[in-house]
A = this chain, B = another copy of it.
């Protein structure tokens, strides 16, 4: 079903407001923007685990940031299970640091939101990398070891270029979608419970995702996980919990590097434009202009219930 952007925003805002969540409109707008930009895996469906965590007390309603360490021009915070979207929205308001690291916040939404914000507000490029629960296997095996390793890079040219992706070839949401539609998954991106490549969504859900680029991508991903954990003191790999499954509190981490405007040379945009139809972020900017979104009817009905009943019965209704 289709609903107006404004309706989606106020529905989510109202669900959060009734639960005493700080600044609910920032969160509602974030999820709707993710949906509009086509980051469906980070869109409205993520309202459910967030509200569940709040109801269960694994996620805080109000932000509480503890500064753990400052060094040079960098800062590390413990978010004490605060809502990740609020934490990073505040931290990217007008940062003075060149590196910001956070651990123990809940799901932070889509990373491109924050790197684009830095590019817009400070006119500086930014790189952001995080981790989450394991979803990706080492090629040839079946055990999920590493997260899909989200990464975003924004470059402030006359048009802001924003890369926002994971390092797995497809999102878990795409497998669930293929299952619902009775379709096959593209060859070479998922494995079954024995670690063999499969195109069957049911088998893939029992196995896991492959990294992009085989063992090379795998090594890139574990290095990035290790870097996240090194800088933030977060859990990593199989230790991470509480991001999608919010019955537990989150223990992941992420960091943002804010780069200087040294040469600020954007002639590359026109060079690349000869070869690619869309630069990273361009397609997403166009999609943002819609005033309606497609929402799964089942998801919409849960939203309506969550809005009506402050004491939602999670074990019965999910």
Interface set of A (CB-CB < 8 Å, partner B): 68-69, 71-76, 98-99, 101, 103, 125, 138, 141, 143, 145, 151, 153, 155, 157, 161, 163, 165, 167, 169, 188, 212-214, 216-217, 219-220, 222-227, 229-234, 236-239, 257, 259-269, 271-272, 274-276, 279-280
Contact = CB atoms under 8 A, between A and B. Distances in A.
Given A216-B169, A226-B155, A233 B263 contact: yes
A189 to B, nearest CB: 9
A263 B230 contact: yes
A230 B145 contact: no
Contact of A260 (B72, B153, B264): B72
Contact of A157 (B74, B125, B230, B261): B230
B68 A239 contact: no
Main secondary structure of the interface of A (DSSP, over half): mixed
Copies in the complex: 2
A271 B141 CA distance: 17
Given A74-B259, A98-B98, A231-B259, 16 more contacts: A72-B73, A125-B227, A161-B226, A165-B219, A165-B220, A167-B213, A222-B272, A222-B279, A230-B268, A231-B260, A231-B262, A232-B263, A236-B272, A237-B271, A237-B275, A257-B259
Given A212-B217, A217-B212, A153 B237 contact: no
Contacts of A220: 151, 163, 165
Contact of A226 (B68, B98, B272): B272
A179 B165 CA distance: 36
Most chain B beta-carbon contacts within 10 A, residue among A233, A238, A260: A260
Contacts of A98: 72-73, 98-99
Contacts of A263: 68-69, 76, 101, 103, 230-233
Contacts of A268: 225-226, 229-230, 236-237
A214 B210 CA distance: 13
